[in-house]
Chain A
Amino acid sequence: ILNVEQSPQSLHVQEGDSTNFTCSFPSSNFYALHWYRWETAKSPEALFVMTLNGDEKKKGRISATLNTKEGYSYLYIKGSQPEDSATYLCAHYSNTGNQFYFGTGTSLTVIP
């Protein structure tokens, strides 16, 4: 099992605040990293597929960066809204693992 770690485990922010959280993964044999948003009682939804070192992806107020050499990815949310409340999962794919390994997620609560 290839360890994928996410921090913090949970986070409470006020509406309008910007926030970010981290996904750490083994840097060797990197192939791809995914970010998913998982709202309660819904299906996990893909946010970003990242493959290249230095990748920056953006979707509305949410963006992500990737550093494959040091083995981390950041997810940023600008001006958090209550509808951003969800668990954010990252999943790492290496050439040796041959499958995606998920982190435990960061649970975000945005307080109105």
Chain B
Amino acid sequence: DTEVTQTPKHLVMGMTNKKSLKCEQHMGHRAMYWYKQKAKKPPELMFVYSYEKLSINESVPSRFSPECPNSSLLNLHLHALQPEDSALYLCASSLSESKMAQYFGPGTRLLVL
């Protein structure tokens, strides 16, 4: 199984809502990533988990809260988001946190109203 799955595919939420994005992989990868991509911009790294520990947090606002319950799962909890947070959220994994290729999920398209 060489797939990274993400749910939901699309999400519309109000600024007072709390929601979660989920990411799952069963390739035995020990590094998992969250990226944010706005239209016509490159994907920007938000968080990296390595061996289930947060290793990189790219100064992301606290309204985004990552969680890695086990080596196969990565969640992104969303609370009190702003309209400018509307974007495509991509999850990726790699064998380890190094120069190895990343396997991406299809993304969650988020719209904050």
Per-residue B-contact encoding for A13-29, CB less than 8 Å = 1, 0 else: 00000000000000000
- CB of B113 closer than 8 Å to a CB of A: no
A49 and B104 in contact, given A101-B42, A102-B43 (Cβ under 8 angstroms): no
Contact B105 A99 (CB under 8 A): no
- CB of A32 closer than 8 Å to a CB of B: yes
Contact B103 A100 (CB under 8 A): no
How many residues of chain B are within 8 Å of chain A by beta carbon? 21
Contact B101 A49 (CB under 8 A): yes
Contact A49 B106 (CB under 8 A): no
List which B62-113 residues lie within 8 A (CB) of chain A.
90, 92, 99-107
Count contacts between A and B, CB distance < 8 Å.
44
- The interface residues of chain B, by DSSP majority, are classed as loop
Contact A104 B42 (CB under 8 A): yes
Flag the segment in A38-46, A61-69, A70-78 that touches B.
Answer: A38-46
List which B30-56 residues lie within 8 A (CB) of chain A.
40-45, 48, 56
Contact A99 B42 (CB under 8 A): no
Residue of A nearest to B44 (CB): A102
**Closest beta carbon of chain B to A36's beta carbon, Å:** 8
Contact A43 B56 (CB under 8 A): no
- A residues contacting B by CB (< 8 A) are 4, 31-32, 34, 36, 41-46, 49, 51, 89, 93, 98-105
